[in-house]
Amino acid sequence: MLRLYDYLPSGNGYKVRLLLRLLGRPFELVEKDIVKGETRTPDYLAKNANGRIPLLELEDGTFLPESNAILFYLAEGTPFMPEDRLGRARMLQWMFFEQYSHEPNIAVVRFWMEHGGLTPEREAVLPAKRAGGYAALGVMEGRLRGRDWLVGDGITIADIALYAYTHVAHEGGFDLGDYPALRAWLDRVAAQPGYVPITQA
Amino acid sequence: MLRLYDYLPSGNGYKVRLLLRLLGRPFELVEKDIVKGETRTPDYLAKNANGRIPLLELEDGTFLPESNAILFYLAEGTPFMPEDRLGRARMLQWMFFEQYSHEPNIAVVRFWMEHGGLTPEREAVLPAKRAGGYAALGVMEGRLRGRDWLVGDGITIADIALYAYTHVAHEGGFDLGDYPALRAWLDRVAAQPGYVPITQA
């Protein structure tokens, strides 16, 4: 059976959990508390040298890190990945956008507010992260105006990747009031058969 | 013909230029100076709402942004992409690592040193970025010890993606002296037929 090393509040981990549930694939969850440093132990670093969750362990003992690479692995051959070349590239475009322009602003601010507290160093970069987060939400709003999904006619792993931290953006102080297309898209994801909330495995 | 909107000093742009040269694919270069704001004009934002280079314009006028998504699009069906499912996921693992753990530290510090100057806000986060950059280089060094390439037996777009900013890391003050496997790998990339330096289109 697939084994997922994960931390439940993590949106990066939730992406993988959500896709597994939508696919109806059973998995074993191994919780690792990143706040307590459980992903920086020698034992864990031997599994993932980059010391992060999520980490997927395949049936044969192979370890695969990086949430969006795990999504890609699990989605190949399923309806969650477009069948055409440009569609796959477009899907990856949004997934790289997620890791570069969205997560470092929206997820990081949420984590600071929920766990780390705002140190003076973090206070100094907070306005830039707030602006960067809203810019990313604005790009998504523009894309979703008049569309149901980010790529093509159905839900793909690009939607799952971006849903994870967008639907909890308010926990980092982001107000989605001015993003109606984005809020309607959040509702569409949450209505998928098999959907589970982020607090649940 | 393919058209590439790019800024020559950019490693993200260089990834695409380098792959196109290694593939022997002709393209037209349209230079955009990001320091002068040329990617934030209304005309450019209509092409890429996220306002960044590189941006690939396909023969039919379709625009594709995000350097690593462009690499994936161009590499499908070529030897630069593994043929097996796990190999493709592993390749993407390193490409997401590049955009999340490598570029925001190594490329951003280089950009500050070359262009933006070090403002007080940037000075405050410089030690964290320096540590994050060396941590990423350490993860790569560990992976490349005893291997020629990041994934499988030949060069893939994971190598190209990570080569781009690693080979100019010294311009951001990173010392690669303690990373012998990484330096040997840089030499292997530079020895590929068709190789062009970052300063060249």
Residue A119: predicted pLDDT? 85
Determine, for residues A93 and B128 on separate chains, whether the beta-carbon distance falls below 8 Å. Answer: no
Residue A145: predicted pLDDT? 97
pLDDT at A181 over 80: yes
- CA torsion B106-B109-B112-B117 (nearest 10°) is -160
Closest CB to B72 among A73, A89, A97: A89
User: How far B7 CA lies from chain A's nearest CA (Å)?
Assistant: 19
Query: What is the spatial distance between Cα A129 and Cα A139, in angstroms, rounded to a whole number?
Result: 15
pTM over 0.90: yes
Determine, for residues B124 and A128 on separate chains, whether the beta-carbon distance falls below 8 Å. Answer: no
Give the burial string for A163-177 (b: 16+ CB within 10 Å, else e): bbbbbbbebbebeee
Residues of B in contact with A89 (CB under 8 A): 64, 69-70, 72-73
Q: Stretch B2-27: mean pLDDT, rounded? A: 97
Give the burial string for B141-157 (b: 16+ CB within 10 Å, else e): bebbeeeebbbbeebbb
Query: What is the spatial distance between Cα B195 and Cα B155, in angstroms, rounded to a whole number?
Result: 13
Q: What is the DSSP letter of B115?
A: I
B96-128 pLDDT tens trace: 999 999 999 999 999 998 877 788 878 888 999
User: How far B170 CA lies from chain A's nearest CA (Å)?
Assistant: 22
B178-191 pLDDT tens trace: 999 999 999 999 99
Query: What is the spatial distance between Cα A28 and Cα A52, in angstroms, rounded to a whole number?
Result: 18
Determine, for residues B92 and A72 on separate chains, whether the beta-carbon distance falls below 8 Å. Answer: yes
Helices marked H in chain B — which ranges?
11-23, 42-47, 67-75, 85-97, 108-111, 120-144, 157-166, 180-190
Q: Which of A44, A53, A84, A92 should one mutate to test binding to chain B, selecting the residue with the greatest count of B CBs within 10 A?
A: A92
**Do the beta carbons of residue A71 and residue A161 sit within 8 Å?**
yes
Task: Output the six-digit token pair for B195.
Answer: 């190789």
Kindly identify which residue of chain B lies nearest to residue A55, measuring between CA atoms. Answer: B93
Q: Stretch A134-141: mean pLDDT, rounded? A: 98
Residue B118: predicted pLDDT? 83
Query: What is the spatial distance between Cα A106 and Cα A166, in angstroms, rounded to a whole number?
Result: 8
Residues of A in contact with B66 (CB under 8 A): 92-93, 96-97, 100
**Do the beta carbons of residue B84 and residue A54 sit within 8 Å?**
no
Q: What is the DSSP letter of B36?
A: G
Please give the C-alpha separations between residue A95 and each of A4, A81, A160, B67, B100, in angstroms, as whole numbers. 20, 12, 9, 12, 12
Residues of A in contact with B89 (CB under 8 A): 64, 69-70, 72-73
Query: What is the spatial distance between Cα A124 and Cα A104, in angstroms, rounded to a whole number?
Result: 15
Residues of A in contact with B83 (CB under 8 A): none
Residue A115: predicted pLDDT? 78
Closest CB to B99 among A65, A90, A99: A99
Q: Is the ipTM of this complex over 0.90?
A: yes
Kindly identify which residue of chain A lies nearest to residue B104, measuring between CA atoms. Answer: A100
pLDDT at A201 over 80: no
- CA torsion B78-B81-B84-B87 (nearest 10°) is 170
Helix (H) or strand (E) holding B29: strand B27-31
Q: What is the DSSP letter of B54?
A: -
User: How far A187 CA lies from chain B's nearest CA (Å)?
Assistant: 24
Q: How confident is the model at residue B30 (pLDDT cuts 50, 70, 90)?
A: very high
Q: Name the phi and psi angles at B105, rounded to 5.
A: -95, -60
A104-114 pLDDT tens trace: 999 999 999 88
Determine, for residues B64 and A88 on separate chains, whether the beta-carbon distance falls below 8 Å. Answer: no
3-state secondary structure of B17: helix
Determine, for residues B125 and A124 on separate chains, whether the beta-carbon distance falls below 8 Å. Answer: yes
Query: What is the spatial distance between Cα B146 and Cα B182, in angstroms, rounded to a whole number?
Result: 11
User: How far A51 CA lies from chain B's nearest CA (Å)?
Assistant: 10
Task: Output the six-digit token pair for A169.
Answer: 């953006």
